[in-house]
Structure 1
Amino acid sequence: MATERFEEHRDLLTAVAYRVLGTVTDAEDVVQEAWLRWSGVDTAEVEDDRAYLIRVTTRLSIDRLRRVRAQRESYVGPWLPELVGAVPDVAEHAELTASVELALLVVLETLSPLERAVFVLREAFALPYAEIGEIIGRSEATARQLARRAKQHVRERRPRFE
């Protein structure tokens, strides 16, 4: 039963983790870690599976993003995000999808981990600010502020941090 409840949301969780992290491997690792946490919880006490799993996955993604950024600080070469989601049948569509996806991931890379998570949850998944605040462990007002800063930063197209 718990496995089925988790599997219902696996694709969504992978999408959330991928959009926050930018790599399929990291996203799959985070979803696996979310599964381990889910399997250790009394699922009968979880009111909303989807909300709980998104919260766990987002927090794990933020933690991983912080660790990955710390590791990248010692790497001298350029970092480019990993692409997924291209449609192999239609070459033109695939090329456009890949270029838009790469551009978005490069822009997201310039945001702080919390800004990135809030931006993804709001813009890609249309979650309400109250739920986003709950997910990231901050108030609704803070979630709104982080989203505003992230949007402004994305519009300006320049790194917020060196």
Structure 2
Amino acid sequence: MARRFGLLTDKQLTVVALHEGQGLGFSEIARRLGTTRQDAAATYRRAVANVEAAWETLVAYTLATGMILEAGEGTSLDELIARVIEKADTHDVRLRWGRPELYILLRGLLRDCMKDSRLVEPVVIVLRRDGSIEAYPRKKIEHVLEALSSLQPTTDDSRS
């Protein structure tokens, strides 16, 4: 049985490392692995699909278990930080970072959603109980938010 690295097989990890990490083409990868170019390319596509599925799973888990804070276009980074700190204080969560570090962290996480120090598109910030923070462009996770909002709490008393 082939070894696995999470959702990637040994072969998928090798192909990804050679293609993405070393910049090799599929013909060279196939030569090194003793297979065809088509097989190397198909292995790469399966690996990428597995990574995308894993990312979506992690995002869904993070959104389902964290405290969600949404911010719209035009929100300043200073205002966003104030809202994050307020939400953490309200829920007795000790953030891992102070205000200066939050500024750097959020600016990095949201770099594609900002111009100067303002959001140019809506974002979702997830505050975890351990004090960590995740940030996503809202449009990238819309489908997960919709699925979570459609879930109804269980009212079955036998589960208590």
Same fold (TM over 0.5): no
Q: Kindly indicate which of the two structures has a greater share of residues assigned to strand.
A: 2
Of the two, which has the highest radius of gyration? 2
Higher relative contact order, structure no. (Cα contacts within 8 Å, ≥ 6 residues apart):
1
TM-score, with length taken from structure 1: 0.31
TM-score, with length taken from structure 2: 0.31
